[in-house]
Amino acid sequence: MARLVLLDRDGVLNVDRADYVKHPGELVLLPGAAAAVARLNRAGYAVAVCTNQSPIGRGIFDEAMLARIHEALREGLAREGAKLDAIFHCPDAPGPHSTRRKPAPGMLIEALAMFAADAPATPFVGDSLRDLQAAAAIGCPRHLVRTGHGAKTLAAGLPDVVLPVAVHEDLGAAVAALLG
């Protein structure tokens, strides 16, 4: 059974832009995010990202551009000795029919299967209610960071269906708590 941590991307690893990260030059890592991933790597955890990327479904950019953005993400992390073991993305625009787009748990299920990981032993770190809902749907422990949309998500109140949720200032604090 693999030790795995799942992360949202925007607002957890990098600055979340209201107009989306549309090209590699707009990707800005959050302070301490790369060091936090490196700490998970050193502790023997696989790290996978599960990210909604509706700009593809909305026609704002294509899969090739997303691949370039994710290459920039990997390069930024590598500069601090960090690596991602997988990136799962859902290109669907918002709508009721997607089984992969968070709050649906499809991407998380795929990640668990790829790494032969157990949901109750696999924390998900996100910054939005839909991250928490996806994790709760399959029994992953929920961790909310105050970065990105996290503070706003917390201020709006968390529904009982996603509780319990551990709340952290940022990814570094979340990783510190996970690793004890």
The Cα 90–Cα 76 span in angstroms is: 22
Condensed to tens digits (0 to 9), the pLDDT of residues 111-160 reads 999 999 999 999 999 999 999 999 999 999 999 999 999 999 999 999 99
Sorted by sequence, the CB contacts under 8 Å of residue 28 that are 6+ apart come out as 14, 15
Condensed to tens digits (0 to 9), the pLDDT of residues 57-92 reads 999 999 999 999 999 999 999 999 999 999 999 999
Q: State pTM to two decimals.
A: 0.97
Cis status of the peptide bond prior to 55, with omega within 30 of 0? no
The Cα 100–Cα 138 span in angstroms is: 13
Q: Domain residue spans in the chain?
A: 4-179
* Proportion of the chain above pLDDT 70, given as a percent: 100
88 close to 111: Cβ distance less than 8 angstroms: yes
Q: Let me know if 92 is a catalytic residue.
A: no
Nearest to 31 by CA among 13, 48, 45: 13
The Cα 81–Cα 149 span in angstroms is: 27
- Residue 92 dihedral angles phi and psi, to the nearest 5°: -65, 140
Give the pLDDT band of residue 56 (cuts 50, 70, 90).
Answer: very high
Q: In angstroms, what CA-CA distances link 153 with 57, 73, 105, 124?
A: 24, 25, 19, 16
| CATH classification number, 4-179, choose in 3.90.920.10, 3.40.50.720, 3.40.50.1000, 2.60.40.1930 | 3.40.50.1000
* Proportion of the chain above pLDDT 90, given as a percent: 97
Count CB-CB contacts under 10 A for residue 96.
6
Q: Let me know if 170 is a catalytic residue.
A: no
- Using the predicted structure, report yes or no on whether residue 179 has a pLDDT greater than 80: yes
Maximum Cα–Cα distance for the chain, whole Å?
A: 43
Selected catalytic residue, list 10, 16, 92, 127: 10
Selected catalytic residue, list 8, 16, 127, 131: 8
